[in-house]
Structure 1
Amino acid sequence: MSGPSRGRRRLLAVGAVGAVALWMARPANRGAPHDAYFRSMQAALRQAGIAAPMLVLDRERLRANIRAAAGHVNGKMALRLVVKSLPCPALLEEAAALAGTSRQMLFSLPQLEAMAKGGRDILLGKPLPAAAALAFYRRFSDAAFRPERQLQWLADTPERLAQYRELARGQDLHLRVNFEIDVGLHRGGVADIATLRRMLDMVAEEPRLRWAGLMGYDAHVAKIPDVPGLRERALRHARASYAGFAAAARAHPAGRAEAGPCFNAAGSPTYRFYHGDGPENEVAVGSAMVKPSDFDLPALDDLLPACFIATPVLKALPRFELPYGAEWLGGMVRGWDANARRAYFIYGGNWLADPASPPGLDSSGLYGHSSNQQLLVGSGKQALAVDDMVFFRPRQSEAVLQQFGDIAVYEHGRIVDSWPALPAAG
């Protein structure tokens, strides 16, 4: 046999092997129907007559998550609820009652106006413009809430503190001011002891200001790459930085004047790293109690997702097709990927969320996204029909929980209540 013939045969054999390997590399069929949990939730929504996109909150899971967070604190520290992550008054009341706390962290003027009532202890989680603080005092009217004792404004720089000082002087107010410190996140805040002392000097010189404590957020500890030892070093750095700031503040006359400073730390990704063995005397927790997917972290493995977006299927088509002119490409996709054989158009869509049930559904990058009728593709093993529900899992709770009006409360296989969410606001 001639050399060229043998070469051609080798090329054909290599090509055949490559084709087989390519065919074997096709995505596996991931489709399946709803499991028992989501079948029960779907039945509950149907019984309640819900046929539009809806945020569903599993109250049993919510309560278990709240108890887990409170159990970790267990008297060693205080627990402060993050309102932007639980933006629903009834949800906040549930969490406050189970966790035994009246402390809240707020992030906007509308939240502050909604929550500044009764006996709540409020800490701002980001520095608001002095103009927003002025607007609050001009509209505030709840006689049972005493801002000079129950509200801590957040100052991140001497310049911001000076603005609050001028507000206090101009409006004859007495303000409690907490200082944001940088413990490694590098998102602003007091970065060195000299600046901290300068700000404490400003407080000491102004009788209308009172230093209330420190706030150090350390979300970077949970989010930096999981290189061996890197997260541990970041946590040690954060805690050592906090301890240094706290010691300097307590040594200053303005710090010594405050008998019980608020040393706030952590957040949902990191609160499990604190055990009451440092100056930090409270942790802030919110999203962990409903556990959206951004909080699928090793430290939170024992918590369960408690919030979902449910939406009906409007159209269940026998096959996935791309629009006119590109049908041929849709055929290739169907042949290659078993998970793109069927097309389902849902009510609404394009949320900050991902399909959770039935398994094997996904959006089509070729077709694009829609907030009106989003296309999902699947293999058909989902056994979805028109009016069946698709469930999404939010990636975060802040903002997403406010997109659907009232929240449907699911408990013991039924929709038992409807909780209004706070109006969406920055």
Structure 2
Amino acid sequence: MNLALKEQRSGASAGIIDLDRLDSNVHFVQKQLGDGYQLRLVTKSLPSLDLLKYMMVKVQTNRLMVFSESFLAEILSNLNPDSLDILLGTPLPVDAFIRLVAYNGWNTINWLIDTNERLNQYLYYAQQEHIRIKINLEIDVGLHRGGFEITKDFAEAVEIIKQNSQYLELTGLMGYDGHVPYVPFYINKERSIRKTFVHVQELYDQFVDELKKHYDAKAMSTMTFNSGGSHTYFYYSDYKSATPVNDIAVGSGFLAPKQFSDLIELGHQPALFLSAPVLKKIESSKLPHAEKLSALVNIWDPNLKTSYFMLGGGWPGELVGPMGLKRNHWWDENDLGYTNQLPNQSILSGSDENTLNVSDFIFYHPWEGDGMLCFKKLVLYRQNSIVGEWDTYKGGN
């Protein structure tokens, strides 16, 4: 990868997607998940329209989960919304909804609602404007991040939708299970996780059972019951007959960023990297304000002897290559623990045995997929060559 970048992208920092690894992760997810569920792409973890278009073809899905007003606006403006099944991953304030109504295709979106108060706000606007809104209800299946927690409030919301069917249409439920992998105080981790996962399905079932009191089987058969995520999608393959969930959301699993090390242990491959070329190499590292102590420091830790200053850097990720480098905490640390004295020229250190030189590239494994937003362009890498570029997401949060 270093050689390919030096030949074709010399002197420029870049986000890089390894397409071979991305394709491998797609195959892995599909194999783990099987045929029993619809797969939905989580756009906040794949923040590039070019990447999304590639993934929709590769995964053979038109289902997206979108979290921000601006990214939703970009999707509506650049993709054909009539060909998409979009579910919000977070409720949006009614003011944001009103702004988005100006875009073609807004009425194809499943708008997430978490409270009766918000539902009534959407209903009031629909009545004033004589429009019909697709509603997906957020339910709390143990994460406690919001959504309907008790069936009484949930049933009230369902009745509000039914009684105002000329303005509102219920299209399904969303119950995120993001808490499942983080069971505290476990003795047997895997057993505790699976027990929590089963409890999620039991809670989900309670809401679906309540829904059956209001809708017949034909209406229920067209609804989307969404859950899952990159940390939990693989548990669903053994649970098809015992869960109401029919729609699984996955995003980060396709890129396997650093925060998803459990997926790498499972078999995913890191497919996204952040890179910067070496701008300067200083063989005898000196410390500001302590030049006379530099020799002692270098003896104490020979891996601080040579300094490498990058073009940019400070990327949100873990240093992964080349081997033999480390953060220089004499330069790099302050009260916040992450901002260095030269944030436009991040510093790394190594021993004088390291063969890294000016113009060679240094690579980071980003903590999250949105680390790619450090760059306007993504470099595409396949079979040891640079094969193209993709744009990253242009909007804000």
Q: TM-score, normalised by structure 2?
A: 0.90
Give the counterpart letter for 1:211 in structure 2.
Answer: L
User: Could you tell me whether the CA contact under 8 Å between 2:151 and 2:210 is conserved in 1?
Assistant: yes
State how far apart, in whole Å, the 1-side matches of 2:50 and 2:358 are.
Answer: 33
Determine which of 383, 403, 418 is the counterpart of 2:355. 383
Give structure 1 stretches of 5+ with no counterpart. Answer: 1-40
User: Could you tell me whether the CA contact under 8 Å between 1:57 and 1:410 is conserved in 2?
Assistant: yes
> 2:21 maps to which residue?
61
State how far apart, in whole Å, the 2-side matches of 1:300 and 1:93 are.
Answer: 28
1:162 paired with 2:117, answer no
User: Are residues 336 and 252 of structure 1, via their aligned partners in 2, closer, same or farther at CA, if it must alter by over 3 Å?
Assistant: farther
1:219 paired with 2:181, answer no
SS in 1 for 2:288: coil
> 1:396 maps to which residue?
368
Identity %: 33
Question: Over residues 358-411 of structure 1, what are the superposed CA-to-partner deviations in whole Å (9 max), with x where a residue is unaligned?
Answer: 12322223312243011112224431111111011101002x112211110011
SS in 2 for 1:189: coil
Give the counterpart letter for 1:260 in structure 2.
Answer: T
SS in 1 for 2:329: coil
> 2:88 maps to which residue?
124
User: Could you tell me whether the CA contact under 8 Å between 1:402 and 1:424 is conserved in 2?
Assistant: no
State how far apart, in whole Å, the 1-side matches of 2:133 and 2:217 are.
Answer: 15
State how far apart, in whole Å, the 1-side matches of 2:36 and 2:250 are.
Answer: 15
State how far apart, in whole Å, the 2-side matches of 1:187 and 1:157 are.
Answer: 12
Moved over 6 A (4+): none
Give the counterpart letter for 2:384 in structure 1.
Answer: G
> 1:98 maps to which residue?
58
State how far apart, in whole Å, the 1-side matches of 2:231 and 2:221 are.
Answer: 30
User: Which of the pair has more CA radius of gyration?
Assistant: 1
1:256-405 paired onto structure 2 within 5 Å: 257-275=219-237, 276-277=240-241, 278-297=243-262, 301-324=266-289, 326-327=290-291, 330-368=294-332, 369=340, 370-398=342-370, 400-405=371-376
Give the counterpart letter for 2:179 in structure 1.
Answer: H
State how far apart, in whole Å, the 2-side matches of 1:247 and 1:196 are.
Answer: 11
Q: TM-score, normalised by structure 1?
A: 0.84
1:113-262 paired onto structure 2 within 5 Å: 113-116=73-76, 117=80, 118-138=82-102, 140-141=103-104, 145=105, 147-148=106-107, 150-207=108-165, 208-225=167-184, 227-228=187-188, 229-253=191-215, 257-262=219-224
State how far apart, in whole Å, the 1-side matches of 2:380 and 2:228 are.
Answer: 29
Question: Over residues 218-273 of structure 1, what are the superposed CA-to-partner deviations in whole Å (9 max), with x where a residue is unaligned?
Answer: 12212344641432232122121112122212322499744411111111111111
SS in 2 for 1:296: helix
CA RMSD of aligned residues (A): 1.9
SS in 1 for 2:331: coil
Give structure 2 stretches of 5+ with no counterpart. Answer: 333-339
Residues paired across the two proteins, number: 378
Question: Over residues 86-135 of structure 1, what are the superposed CA-to-partner deviations in whole Å (9 max), with x where a residue is unaligned?
Answer: 11122112211121110000011121122232401000000011111111
